[in-house]
Amino acid sequence: MNDYRKLPSFEKRWLKDMPSDKEISTIKPTGNLYNYLYECNKNNMNNIAISVPSLKIINNNELDFITYEELFENIDKCVSVFKNIGIEKGDIVPLVMLNIPEASYCLYALNKIGAISCFIDPRMNEFCLKRDIDSVDSKVLLSITYACKKIKNITFKNNLIKVLMLSTMASSSNTLLKKVLGFQEKITGNSIPKRYMNFPELLDNEEKVLQPNDGLDETSASIVFTGGTTGTHKGVLLSNKALNTTVFEHNYLIDNISKGEKFLDILPPFIAYGLTSLHLSLCLGLETILDPVPIPNLFAKKIEKYKPSVAFGGPIHWEHFAMMTKAKDLSFLKYPVSGGEKLPESTAKKINEVLRKKNANEILDGYGATETCGVFSIKMPKNTPNTVGYPLRYNNVCIVDSDTIEEKDYNQSGEILISGPSIMECYYQKDEENDKVFITDKYGRKWFRTGDTGMINEKGELIITGRLKRIFVCGVTKVYPPELEEIIMEIEGIKKCVVTGVNDERLRTVPKVHLIKEQHCSYSNQEIETIINEQIKERVGEEAVPKYYSFDNDFLYTPSGKVDFTAMTKNDNQKILIKKRT
């Protein structure tokens, strides 16, 4: 094309279908997360900020309530606690937490200090917890008691690290429930030892004192871990500007929500879209219903019970919702949103049929990654089927030839590059990985290489046509085949290894291992399977343990001689399908 200004990334046709900046009256973000949260809610202090299910009965509704005024008071108490134990601007604090009120207190308290929060999945095994906590070299660790037994067994790189503990139900006013949980903690070895500090007790000893906001700049806010585009484990550093802008951009899509309406949030803060959804809900001034245990087959009951205007869940939650909902009318549900993984078009169609019959709006889906705060584009009901909708307002997308980085025209497939304020700062302390994913084109524009392939249609909608990266979700857990392959190749007698993801009725996708043994391998096939299962369970987690094995003579290859992962995965799934039919 002679005129580069007619290329998709310059024309940005998707903007024609969005409101202009002048039409959006919402407060624009400045400064850090805390500052944006406060500016959005300084006149909203009496409304409910956070509700937590199953704690006590109030007005025949099982919820504990925290107002915005109480939220800010608790944030300031956390600021005092963190400062008293030595947290300073620029420090990184691992938060081993589920979706509980203290997660939000700590997020904004650390942000107010100018420190960096680092949410970590408490369900991980000791090996993975140590890996992530050691990687940020922190002097303080805060965890829920669910992970206490595992943390007690870990020898951290910083042996002087201060450990703070709190119960998952620390915010509960139900004393009986707390006693039962305390008894369970003793039985399971998760009771808090004397050498650890009790976080709720520290909070109770703090007075209500307004703390200064020392983190006003737009630099680093939080670290979230991901497998990334290369499939290797690393921390993604997200800035205040990235998270604030991503939240603000939702105002161009959500236009009929009022402060005080309900938002059901089951996405945990240790995934990027979970962190974004928490910040989004609170900055909108909504009542955020936190669910620390997001069991898929209970999702429908929670929507029916709490009647949220907005509900965020993963594809597996919405699939269960469509199968299990018994509600006759869901007209209160304005924005059902699926995040964390691509929602298959066929599945979305089934879910939307249920939603329409019950007077609710259609489900919103999109495209994103941890590196984009969990979301880059959102598909609205008006968008074309089989697309992932338009990029968020201030984002840009470019389809290029992966070798020459020359931009392609509309409806031409290539590698997807993205840019915008919602893109991560970098992979934390991973210079080599950063060099792989950040590039500058001939026009001087900086882009992030997603590792996916796709195209932009004539309306400006993004279409995903394939994946250069090999990641799949087993149940609710992301599995990274290159990570498993690396572990397997350490075993003596293994010549080659490929891990594919095959369809599973219960868990959506499960790992299958293809192996080529060395000629003189001393292990039997059964012994190899046992060794692999034990290694992966210990180093990655039980959910990543392979379900199927195949001992092969050779693999499938592309014309260029590379392993054809796509063809192997397709063959595996065809075999599973044939097996079911017979």
Contact yes or no for 374/339 (Cβ under 8 A):
yes
Contact yes or no for 465/413 (Cβ under 8 A):
yes
pLDDT at 54: 54
CB atoms within 10 A of CB 216: 15
Model confidence over 494-515: pLDDT tens digits? 988 999 999 998 888 999 999 9
Contact yes or no for 97/145 (Cβ under 8 A):
no
pLDDT at 173: 62
Q: If you count them, how many residues does the chain have?
A: 582
Contact yes or no for 228/430 (Cβ under 8 A):
no
Which parts of the chain have pLDDT scores under 50? 55-60, 228-230, 560
pLDDT at 60: 43
Model confidence over 251-306: pLDDT tens digits? 888 878 999 999 999 889 999 999 999 999 999 999 999 988 778 889 999 999 99
pLDDT at 174: 61
Would the CA dihedral through 241, 247, 250, 254 be positive or negative?
Answer: negative
CA 118 – CA 434 distance, rounded (Å)? 19
The C-alpha angle with vertex 451 and arms to 446 and 454, in degrees rounded to 5, equals: 95
